[in-house]
A = this chain, B = another copy of it.
């Protein structure tokens, strides 16, 4: 990635405002905020919103960037755990937790294709990290046969989805992660 396109002062300010408002609204459960309303709340014209975020998905990806960073950090940490099973534990639990905490991340992570190339790259990298860990777990024989990194990703998304039905429920998320984790272990 080339360093950064260097935004003009007002552009940076407006972009931040829009993101702030959107984040606040999303945290408040307002998942379908119209773009013109968002613009109004941010004290900005609609065009400005669309310039910074070509479509809804791009906005979501920007909103999820922070959480994606954290998830990436967790994955790296998990990948270097001495015990691969402990690594998987950490990966799954933190993944589901982050997905439940951040609706934007859930959306981005569940989606099949990305809007920003940046987001695509991040996801690919994350996948590679997870795969490395999974390979190690498989080599150690502690995980079920036939489980791929795609399965892991889909399971995490699924659990995030599950723990959101009827309002985000972090406690349920934790429990579901534990259940799947137990199920993923190689049958002894």
Q: Which residues of B contact A172 (CB under 8 A)?
A: 151, 154
A29 interface hit (Cβ, 8 Å): no
- Stretch touching chain B among A72-80, A126-134, A155-163: A155-163
Interface residues on A, range: 20 to 34
Q: Give complex CA distance A184, B179 in Å.
A: 6
* Residue on B nearest A176 in the bound complex, by CB: B155
A165 interface hit (Cβ, 8 Å): yes
**CB proximity of A66 to chain B, nearest CB, Å:** 23
Residues of A within 8 A of B (CB): 110, 112, 144, 146-147, 150-151, 153-155, 157-163, 165-166, 172, 175-176, 178-185, 187
Question: 4 other contacts beyond A158-B160, A178-B183, with CB at 8 A cut-off?
Answer: A155-B162, A157-B161, A158-B158, A182-B183
- The 20 listed contacts between A and B (C-beta, < 8 Å) are A110-B165, A112-B165, A112-B166, A147-B179, A151-B172, A151-B176, A154-B162, A154-B165, A154-B166, A157-B161, A157-B162, A158-B163, A158-B165, A158-B176, A178-B183, A179-B184, A182-B182, A182-B183, A182-B185, A182-B187
